[in-house]
């Protein structure tokens, strides 16, 4: 059972910023991680809570000149059902569909997945592969942080204690392809063993802007630089695909834990990438 | 403490409790609505599923402050219209007809997840029903009769 620290429910961002600036305050949105995490068994209980559920400025999905913008409080269900997401970023909807089941998808939010910063956060490799930018704000003002710079260590982010995640912006370069695949013990209600997201743009000189992002194989969601280098400027021919998968297996340094083993994660990551590349190559 | 007001099964409720108290505890302990069960208490099993503004949620993961001003439906109010004439909801009848309960602890949550699915226009498709109740674990593993019961109501609705 969670502890019951006092909680404030502001309606406006500036009130939320005031509370955060006062210190020792933990924001809560959908609560799917926090309600389980603040029982006292997993570390100290926050002194105060900050309920984000009434702040409308954190909601909404919109198509803007520089990309698709999702408010931090966008739920997985909203991502799955949004016509804009389906048209412009279907891989994010695929990721959202693999998280928990209806009960979790109706409550859990994109901003929460980012703030929780689990290495197994299912949307996070999509953010890395799509080169998303996270807009954060606080009393000191707003700033943008690239998703690739956001996850700095195990469950540590670039977000300061007095800042909130406001929006996530996904650039939509023409011709960019994005694929997602999660491997868990079962289809629903499973924390991932391996998550792979792959992005590329095809051009006359082969693939460019290749991003290979993975979850559950390191202390943070990561990109696989050596594997990306194999694919950059190439095309998914059998020789290239084999080499990319071998490079990924050599590049990853996963660990054994309760959900899987290092060896399984390394092998399956390589196989999943191989499959995504084979499908991209149409063979 | 703050007073939180909301509708439960059509009736106004007011509780004066800490805002972080779980909806599950408010329902069971403060409002004596014990039809909603606690299974895992961490959003894995779905035993405590209720409808919040028509969406199925795990009541163990919802702090009561986020319920203020909203509409909660529990298994006790699954079908208010049917209850008024002393009858059960069509889903409850179907669960009885199909023998879709063994130990019964998952049943209230299964009913609520199924109700959300049908209210959203869900049909009798086996895969869609299984996805709709994927967040509800039956440890007796009696899923087939549960799916059959939900499908029979979807058929009747369709």
Cα distance between the two ends of chain A: 51
- Average pLDDT of A137-161? 97
**Which chain A positions have a beta carbon within 8 Å of B52's beta carbon?**
106
Query: Does the pLDDT value for residue B158 go beyond 70?
Result: no
ipTM: 0.96
**Best of A7, A103, A104, A187 to disrupt the B interface by mutation (most B CBs within 10 Å)?**
A103
The mean pLDDT of A211-229, rounded to a whole number, is: 97
pLDDT, position A77? 98
CA A160 to chain centre: 18
Q: Is the pLDDT of residue B87 over 80?
A: yes
Of B22, B56, B135, the CB nearest to A35: B22
CB B132 within 8 A of CB B114: yes
| Cβ distance of A7 and B132 shorter than 8 Å | no
Picking from A150, A129, A253, the residue whose alpha carbon sits closest to that of residue A200 is A129
Residue matched to tokens 């309760």: A258
Do residues A79 and A108 make contact, with C-beta atoms less than 8 angstroms apart? no
8 Å CB contact of A7 and B19: yes
Chain B residues within an 8 Å CB radius of A73: none
User: What is the distance between the alpha carbons of residues B150 and A202, in angstroms, rounded to a whole number?
Assistant: 46
Distance between A33 CA and the closest CA of chain B, angstroms: 8
Strand duo A7-8 + A48-51: pairing: parallel
Which residues of chain A does B18 touch, with a Cβ-Cβ cutoff of 8 Å?
4, 6-7
Every domain of chain A and the residues it spans: 7-48, 59-170, 176-281
Q: Count of CB atoms within 10 A of residue B22's CB? A: 25
Chain B CB within 8 Å of residue A206 CB? no
In this prediction the pTM is 0.96
| CB atoms B134 and A51 under 8 Å | no
- Res B156: pLDDT: 83
**What digits encode the pLDDT tens for the residues A87-99?**
999 999 999 999 9
Q: Cα–Cα distance between B72 and B59 in angstroms, integer?
A: 10
CB pairs under 8 A between A and B: 96
The reply to whether residue A188 touches residue B135, judged by beta carbons under 8 angstroms, is yes
In this predicted structure, what is the pLDDT of residue A167?
Answer: 98
Q: Is the pLDDT of residue B1 over 70?
A: no
Helix and strand element counts for chain A (H, E): 12, 14
Mean pLDDT of chain A: 96
Comparing alpha-carbon positions, the chain A residue that sits nearest to B1 is A6
Show the DSSP H helices in A30-182 as ranges.
34-37, 76-81, 83-88, 90-97, 102-105, 110-116, 124-129, 147-150
Q: Which residues of B touch A188 (CB under 8 A)?
A: 131, 134-135
**CATH class of the domain whose range is A176-281:** alpha beta
- Determine whether A209 is exposed, middle or buried from the number of CB atoms within 10 Å of its CB (0-12, 13-18, 19+): middle
- For chain B, give the number of residues: 158
Nearest partner of B63 among B127, B6, B141, B132, judged by Cα: B6
Q: A59-170, what's its fold?
A: 3.30.465
Q: Which of A3, A49, A103 comes nearest B56 by C-beta?
A: A103
Whether residue A160 is predicted with pLDDT greater than 90 in this model: the reply is yes
CA angle A265, B44, A77 (to 5 degrees): 85
Q: How many residues does the structure list for chain A? A: 283
Candidates A1, A48, A50, A102: best to mutate against B (most CBs of B within 10 A) is: A102
Domains of chain B in start order, with CATH, are: 2-77 (3.10.20.30), 80-157 (1.10.150.120)
CB contact under 8 A, B135 and A53: no
Q: What proportion of chain A, given as a percentage, has pLDDT over 70?
A: 100
């Amino acid at each position: 059972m969670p502890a019951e620290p006092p909680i404030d429910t502001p309606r406006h961002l500036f009130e939320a910023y005031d509370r955060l600036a006062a210190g020792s305050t933990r924001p809560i949105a959908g609560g799917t991680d926090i309600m389980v995490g603040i029982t006292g068994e997993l570390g100290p209980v926050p002194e105060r809570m900050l309920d984000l559920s009434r702040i409308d400025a954190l909601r909404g999905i919109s198509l803007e000149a520089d990309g698709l913008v999702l408010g931090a409080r966008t739920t997985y269900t909203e991502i799955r059902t949004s016509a804009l997401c389906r048209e412009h970023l279907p891989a994010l909807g695929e990721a959202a569909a693999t998280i928990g089941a209806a009960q979790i998808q109706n409550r859990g939010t994109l901003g929460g997945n980012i703030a929780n910063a689990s290495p197994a956060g299912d949307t996070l490799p999509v953010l890395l592969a799509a080169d998303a930018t996270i807009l954060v704000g606080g009393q000191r003002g707003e700033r943008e942080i690239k998703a690739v710079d956001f996850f700095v260590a195990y469950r540590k982010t670039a977000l300061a204690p007095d800042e909130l995640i406001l929006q996530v912006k996904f650039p939509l370069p023409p011709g960019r392809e994005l694929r997602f695949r999660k491997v868990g013990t079962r289809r629903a209600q499973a924390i991932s063993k391996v998550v792979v997201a792959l992005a590329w743009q095809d051009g006359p000189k082969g693939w460019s802007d290749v991003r290979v992002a993975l979850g559950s194989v390191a202390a943070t969601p990561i990109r696989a630089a050596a594997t990306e280098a194999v694919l950059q400027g190439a095309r998914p021919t059998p020789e290239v695909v084999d080499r990319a998968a071998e490079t990924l297996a050599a590049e990853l340094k996963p660990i054994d834990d309760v959900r899987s083993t290092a060896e399984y994660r390394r092998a399956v990551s390589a196989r999943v990438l191989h499959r995504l590349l084979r499908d991209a190559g149409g063979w | 403490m703050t007073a939180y007001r909301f509708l439960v099964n059509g009736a106004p409720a007011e509780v004066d409790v800490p805002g972080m108290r779980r909806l599950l505890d408010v329902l069971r302990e403060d409002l004596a609505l014990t039809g909603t069960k606690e299974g895992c208490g961490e959003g894995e099993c779905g035993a405590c599923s209720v409808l919040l503004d028509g969406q199925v949620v795990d009541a163990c993961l919802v702090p009561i402050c986020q319920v203020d001003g909203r509409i909660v439906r529990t298994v006790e109010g699954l079908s208010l219209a049917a209850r008024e004439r002393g009858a059960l909801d069509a889903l409850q009848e179907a669960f009885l007809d199909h023998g879709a309960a063994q130990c019964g602890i998952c049943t209230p949550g299964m009913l609520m997840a199924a109700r959300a699915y049908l209210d959203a226009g869900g049909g009798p498709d086996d895969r869609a029903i299984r996805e709709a109740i994927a967040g509800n674990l039956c440890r007796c593993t009696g899923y087939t009769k549960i799916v059959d019961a939900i499908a029979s109501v979807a058929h009747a609705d369709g």
